[in-house]
């Protein structure tokens, strides 16, 4: 493969080219992988992802710190329902008039 | 449905959730494949579909069993529950907004027409059609990835990966058979209502498994899942009703302003 000067690449130069190409392919693949999971989990509703972390975290705290494992069975669905309502309300408010 | 739930798990709800989710995604994929087949020819379209199905099956086979055997159950349930909760809330939010008229409904006819127009613009191919293969592959693979996530999460957390995979496969076969019989995009399928049902089930499973992962004590154990489906169904119904009323009063307010301006 010719180098920047138009001369054929030497053996070590060719290896460097291949390493560079591999690096580009790997970083492109990693970016696409990251983008897929970003779109999949967060997308245009970051409040649902953050809210789910908070909701599950609150249930975990309730169970481990206070030991209220039965109460958590009612608190967790209530918080999830609140999160859904909040996200729907946010979407309805952001509509153009 | 409640009576069919066993003490060891909820196979009916599990099968229903996986089947409905897979059917919805496959209807969307079928619309793309039909558009490809009609405009570019069937051979490359079918090759794209076969390659995508093989890749999706490989994903389930490669990722599923190690998840079940090597990851501790409580960790698996917490992670899976969290993923299902986020994923299900996204579906349910979209379904509520569509049912209340705040978001345009998913229109397979419009998507089909758009795909046909785009594919017709591409130059015709001689021999194997790379455009047809790529579009069919991407359509089936990307829609199928959501099915894979649902199958893996629901299947591994309930230790019924085989049953979940079978339910998904049954949905794929059903949609393909119906697609071949009617030979057109499945615009008659009540996709938006199905999405509401799937969203409710995914959020319910997500709540249940995430709760199990953090050691919530569910009254009635697995029987809590259908109760959660009912509770979230009620919440979704209240949200849709309130949003519809708000939308109606907004429209009548606008009409009032319009008539007073005219007067």
Decide if B86 and A72 are in contact by the 8 Å CB cutoff.
Answer: no
Same domain, A29 and A69: no
Other CB atoms within a 10 A radius of the CB of residue A9 amount to 15
In the prediction, which pLDDT does A12 show? 67
Q: Do B68 and B159 contact (CB within 8 A), yes or no? A: yes
Q: Check if B35 contacts A (Cβ < 8 Å).
A: no
In the prediction, which pLDDT does B8 show? 43
Domains of chain A: total: 2
Residues 6+ apart with CB under 8 A from A8: A1, A2
Q: Check if A58 contacts B (Cβ < 8 Å).
A: no
- What was the ipTM of the complex prediction? 0.75
In the prediction, which pLDDT does B263 show? 45
Same domain, A47 and A86: yes
Decide if A84 and B211 are in contact by the 8 Å CB cutoff.
Answer: no
**Which residues in chain A (26-55) have CB-CB distances under 8 A to chain B?**
36, 40-41, 43, 45, 48-49, 51-53, 55
In the prediction, which pLDDT does B29 show? 83
Give the domain extent around A77. 42-97
* Weakest mean pLDDT among A60-64, A77-81, B95-99, B130-134: B130-134
Pairwise CA distance, residues B33 & A51, whole Å? 37
Same domain, A48 and A65: yes
In the prediction, which pLDDT does B254 show? 65
Residue A9 is given by DSSP the state P
In the prediction, which pLDDT does B108 show? 64
In the prediction, which pLDDT does B44 show? 85
Prediction pTM value: 0.71
Q: Check if B202 contacts A (Cβ < 8 Å).
A: no
Same domain, A95 and A50: yes
Q: Check if A68 contacts B (Cβ < 8 Å).
A: no
Which residues of B are less than 8 Å from A92 in CB distance? 97, 102, 243, 246
Distance from CA of B192 to the nearest CA of A (A): 17
Same domain, A14 and A60: no
Could you give the 3-state DSSP secondary structure of residue A8?
strand
Strand partners, A2: A8
Residues 6+ apart with CB under 8 A from B204: B13, B88, B225, B226, B228, B229, B232
Query: Between the CA of residue B218 and those of A76, B209, B245, what are the distances in Å?
Result: 11, 10, 35
In the prediction, which pLDDT does B189 show? 60
Same domain, A4 and A16: yes
Q: What is the pLDDT of residues A6-54, one digit of tens each?
A: 555 566 677 777 777 777 877 888 887 788 778 778 888 889 999 999 9
Same domain, A33 and A80: no
Q: Do B151 and B18 contact (CB within 8 A), yes or no? A: yes
Which residues of A are less than 8 Å from B216 in CB distance? 59, 63, 69, 72-73, 76
* Sites in chain B below the pLDDT cut of 50: 1-8, 261, 263
Same domain, A36 and A61: no
Which residues of B are less than 8 Å from A77 in CB distance? 207, 228, 231-232
Decide if A63 and B215 are in contact by the 8 Å CB cutoff.
Answer: yes
Residue A52 has its nearest CB partner, among B82, B232, B239, at B82
In the prediction, which pLDDT does B260 show? 52
Decide if A52 and B239 are in contact by the 8 Å CB cutoff.
Answer: no
For residue A91, the surrounding DSSP H or E stretch is: helix A69-93
């Amino acid at each position: 493969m010719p180098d920047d000067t138009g001369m054929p690449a030497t053996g070590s130069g060719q290896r460097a080219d291949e390493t560079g190409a591999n690096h580009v392919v790997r970083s492109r693949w990693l970016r696409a992988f990251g983008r897929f999971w970003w779109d999949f989990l967060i997308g245009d509703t970051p409040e649902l992802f953050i809210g789910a972390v908070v909701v599950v975290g609150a249930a975990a705290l309730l169970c481990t710190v206070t030991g209220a494992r039965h109460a958590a069975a009612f608190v967790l669905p209530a918080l999830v329902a609140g999160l859904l309502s909040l996200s729907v309300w946010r979407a309805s408010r952001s509509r153009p008039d | 449905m409640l009576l069919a739930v066993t003490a060891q798990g909820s196979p009916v709800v599990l099968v229903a959730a996986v089947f409905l989710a897979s059917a919805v995604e496959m209807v969307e994929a079928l619309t793309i494949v039909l558009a490809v087949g009609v405009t570019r020819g069937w051979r490359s379209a079918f090759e794209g579909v076969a390659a995508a199905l093989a890749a999706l099956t490989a994903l389930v086979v490669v990722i599923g069993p190690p998840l079940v055997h090597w990851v501790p159950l409580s960790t698996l349930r917490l992670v899976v529950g969290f993923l299902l909760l986020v994923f299900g809330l996204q579906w349910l939010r979209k379904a509520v907004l569509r049912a209340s008229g705040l978001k345009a409904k998913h229109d397979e006819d419009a998507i089909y027409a758009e795909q046909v127009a785009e594919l017709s613009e591409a130059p015709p191919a001689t021999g194997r059609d790379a455009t047809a293969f790529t579009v069919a592959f991407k359509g089936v693979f990307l829609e199928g990835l959501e099915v894979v996530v649902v199958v893996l999460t629901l299947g591994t957390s309930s230790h019924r990966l085989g049953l979940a995979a079978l339910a998904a496969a049954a949905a794929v076969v059903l949609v393909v058979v119906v697609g071949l019989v009617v030979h057109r995009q499945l615009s008659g399928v009540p996709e938006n209502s199905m999405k509401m049902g799937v969203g409710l089930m995914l959020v319910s499973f997500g709540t249940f498994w995430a709760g199990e992962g953090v050691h919530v004590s569910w009254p009635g154990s697995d029987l809590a899942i259908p109760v959660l489906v009912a509770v979230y169904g009620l919440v979704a119904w209240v949200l849709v009703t309130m949003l519809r009323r708000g939308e109606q009063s907004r429209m009548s307010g606008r009409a009032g302003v319009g008539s007073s301006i005219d007067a």
